[in-house]
Amino acid sequence: MGRGIAPHVEYVLSINKTKKYITLSVENNGMGPAIIKSLKIEGVCYEQKYEEEIHKKLFSKLNKILKPNCDFYSIGLQGFYPEYSLSPNKSCDVITINWDQVDEIDNYKIKAVLETINMELTYGDSFGNVEAPIMWTE
Q: Which helix (H) or strand (E) holds 102?
A: none
* Alpha-carbon span 13 to 49, nearest angstrom: 26
**Domain 9-123 part of CATH 3.30.1360:** yes
The full set of domain ranges for the chain reads 9-123
pTM over the 0.85 mark: no
**Terminal-to-terminal C-alpha distance of the chain:** 25
Instruction: Report d(CA 4, CA 81) in Å as an integer.
Output: 26
Q: Is 64 exposed, middle or buried (0-12, 13-18, 19+ CB in 10 A)?
A: exposed
pLDDT string in tens for the chain (138-residue length) = 455 689 999 998 888 877 778 888 899 999 999 999 888 888 888 877 788 888 888 888 887 777 666 666 677 777 667 788 999 999 988 888 887 664 566 667 777 777 788 889 999 998 989 988 999 865
